[in-house]
Amino acid sequence: MSLIVQKYGGSSVATPALIQRVAQRVVTARRGGHNLVVVVSAMGKTTDGLVALAEEITDRPSNREMDMLLSSGERISMALLSMAINAMGCEAISLTGSQCGIITDTAHRKARIMEIKGDRIFSALAEGKVVIVAGFQGVSLDREVTTLGRGGSDRTAVALAYRLNAELCEIYTDVDGVFTADPRLVPNARKLDTISGDEMLELASSGAKVMEAKSVEFANKYNVTIHVRSSFNEQPGTIIKREDAMMEQVVVRGIAHELNEAKVTFRGVPDRPGVVAGIFSRLSDANVNVDMIVQNVSESGITDVSFTVRKTDMRIALGICEGIKDKFQAKDVGADEEIAKVSVIGVGMRSHSGVAAKMFQTLADEGINIEMISTSEIRISCVIQASEVERAVRALHAAFELEKEAG
Ligand code: ADP
Ligand code: ASP
Ligand code: MG
């Protein structure tokens, strides 16, 4: 009998009525003859609510206790879904990440899955049960509960699909699939039938939260095919799969935007070897991931260095820069939280030129100033002011004619 892994995101299980609907979908698939492992996220905005609760207690909670707290959200939804399925006359059992033997490293709040033992999943499947798994969590090598980072239930599903050698990995969400841009921002964004793993990885890493970036990385590495689709209808969604020859014919596949980054600027630093190394080695020691970096042309031996980090890391980055300001004889350190990053992505960029020129011209025509630029083989990203992000994404979507079916 074939095995399917399904994952339902928070909005798909936000209320008891929606949980009943998901249960119905699961029961239908089970009665259709499939073995099922179903990964669930916490209901609606539960995880945000738990984070807010912790903030009411302290502004410095330990990451261990945060994981104890955050992992509880998925326990609620898994138990309710299992109850709903059982009530429909189909046998189900819910299991936490730890009970499934999802072993992670010890990095609380951003753990990586090292191994899935899965004994209890295998025995429950052998007993004919539907297995409901709490997403986004595992147990570390030193037996602590860990979480995988926001959006991490996608990774639970992809890793299980790989481990269980599933025929399909279905990611059910609140939109019809992967679109040419966030459909909440661009009303005429078009649903893509297929997208390459590399394009999806760049989209996700550039802010398209429909898939968690590390899950896509995992799926690409281990060749797991993903079907992203809506839990609110029966329409087929988007297949994320290996690149084929046809895919390079489309120059730009989609536009992503990111509002969760902040820009830190180190002003008036001497332009000599070792300064940039000094700043970034300290950021790396503090586990702060830097995305874009720009060093200005120096004037009389003095320059500015700007970089972007996640907004949640901004305070740490600022503290580090303040701490080394005098050592590096910098004039001052500043931060800007009101920035956004827009990215155009497509594997066709490898064989077509002119994409950067068109992107920059489109933003110029809109009177939008570009503050930073970075590129990869299949992506061009620009940092702009946050207040201009909607206009930028819509203008780029129109300029690259993404509303039209690719020919
Ligand atoms: P879930 O709770 O199911 O995990 P998420 O909220 O994490 O869902 O992701 C779905 C959301 O991703 C959509 O509601 C949509 O606003 C957003 N999104 C951003 N970019 C895209 C895109 N290119 N295609 C589809 N959805 C996108
Ligand atoms: N509940 C977690 C979050 O909100 C994990 C997930 O939904 O994937 O980030
Ligand atoms: Mg998600």
Atom 8 of ligand 2, residue of closest alpha carbon: 151
Of 69, 73, 47, which is closest to residue 58 (Cα–Cα)?
69
Q: What is the pLDDT of residue 211?
A: 98
Pocket lined around ligand 2, Cβ cut-off 6 Å? 9-10, 41-42, 47, 73, 135-136, 150-153
Q: Taking the CB of residue 21, how many other CB atoms lie within 10 A of it?
A: 17
Q: What is the pLDDT of residue 270?
A: 87
Atom 10 of ligand 1, residue of closest alpha carbon: 210
Of 150, 174, 198, the one marking the end of a domain is 174
In which band, very low, low, confident or very high, does the pLDDT at 287 lie, cut at 50, 70 and 90?
confident
Together in a domain, 164 and 270 = no
Q: What is the pLDDT of residue 1?
A: 73
Ligand nearest to C-alpha 192: 1
pLDDT tens-digit map of 104-123? 999 999 999 999 999 999 99
Of 174, 203, 225, the one marking the end of a domain is 174
Q: What is the CATH number of the domain that holds 352?
A: 3.30.2130.10
Which domain covers residue 141, as residue numbers? 3-174
Residue 162 lies in a domain: yes
Query: What's the 150 CA to ligand 3 centre distance in angstroms?
Result: 8
Query: What DSSP state is assigned to residue 129?
Result: P
Query: What's the 42 CA to ligand 2 centre distance in angstroms?
Result: 6
Residue 57 lies in a domain: yes
In which band, very low, low, confident or very high, does the pLDDT at 39 lie, cut at 50, 70 and 90?
very high
pLDDT tens-digit map of 327-342? 888 899 999 999 999 9
In which band, very low, low, confident or very high, does the pLDDT at 273 lie, cut at 50, 70 and 90?
confident
Together in a domain, 395 and 266 = yes
Residues surrounding ion ligand 3 at CB below 5 Å? 9, 151
Together in a domain, 287 and 153 = no
> Which residue among 178, 210, 231 has the greatest number of ligand 1 atoms within 8 angstroms of its CB, and so is best to mutate?
210
Question: Of the given ranges (58-62, 206-210, 213-217, 246-250), which has the lowest mean pLDDT?
Answer: 246-250
Together in a domain, 8 and 151 = yes
Atom 9 of ligand 1, residue of closest alpha carbon: 210
Residue 353 lies in a domain: yes
Q: What is the CATH number of the domain that holds 121?
A: 3.40.1160.10
Contacts of 44 (CB under 8 A, 6+ apart): 10, 11, 13, 14, 15
Q: Stretch 373-381: mean pLDDT, rounded?
A: 95
DSSP H helices, 43-94, are 46-57, 63-87
The rounded percent of the chain whose pLDDT value lies above 90 is 88
Model confidence at 394: pLDDT above 80: yes
Together in a domain, 266 and 387 = yes
Together in a domain, 29 and 162 = yes
Counted domains in the chain:
2
Residue 330 lies in a domain: yes
Residue 191 lies in a domain: no
Model confidence at 407: pLDDT above 80: no
350, two tokens? 């490898």
Query: What's the 157 CA to ligand 3 centre distance in angstroms?
Result: 12
The rounded percent of the chain whose pLDDT value lies above 70 is 100
Together in a domain, 12 and 101 = yes
Q: Can you tell me which atom of ligand 1 is nearest the CA of 191?
A: 24
Q: Please, are residues 345 and 203 in contact by the beta-carbon 8 Å criterion?
A: yes
Ligand nearest to C-alpha 206: 1
Q: What is the pLDDT of residue 272?
A: 83
Query: What's the 407 CA to ligand 2 centre distance in angstroms?
Result: 37
Atom 17 of ligand 1, residue of closest alpha carbon: 210
Residue 78 lies in a domain: yes
Of 330, 258, 328, 324, which is closest to residue 285 (Cα–Cα)?
324
Query: What DSSP state is assigned to residue 299?
Result: B
Between the CA of residue 16 and those of 81, 127, 383, what are the distances in Å?
Answer: 9, 27, 41
pLDDT tens-digit map of 177-202? 999 999 999 999 999 999 999 999 99
Query: Burial level of 318, CB count in 10 A (0-12/13-18/19+)?
Result: middle
Q: Taking the CB of residue 338, how many other CB atoms lie within 10 A of it?
A: 10
Query: What's the 43 CA to ligand 2 centre distance in angstroms?
Result: 9
Residue 215 lies in a domain: no
Query: What's the 179 CA to ligand 1 centre distance in angstroms?
Result: 9
Together in a domain, 137 and 12 = yes
Q: Can you tell me which atom of ligand 1 is nearest the CA of 11?
A: 2
- pTM comes to 0.95
Helix then strand count (H, E) for the chain reads 12, 20
Q: Can you tell me which atom of ligand 1 is nearest the CA of 171?
A: 3
Q: Show the CA angle centred on residue 286, arms to residues 279 and 206, nearest 5°.
A: 85
Model confidence at 89: pLDDT above 90: yes
Q: Can you tell me which atom of ligand 1 is nearest the CA of 180?
A: 23
Of 127, 158, 174, the one marking the end of a domain is 174
256, two tokens? 């992503």
Residue 40 lies in a domain: yes
Q: What is the pLDDT of residue 127?
A: 97
Together in a domain, 270 and 136 = no
Between the CA of residue 13 and those of 79, 82, 283, 378, what are the distances in Å?
Answer: 12, 12, 38, 35
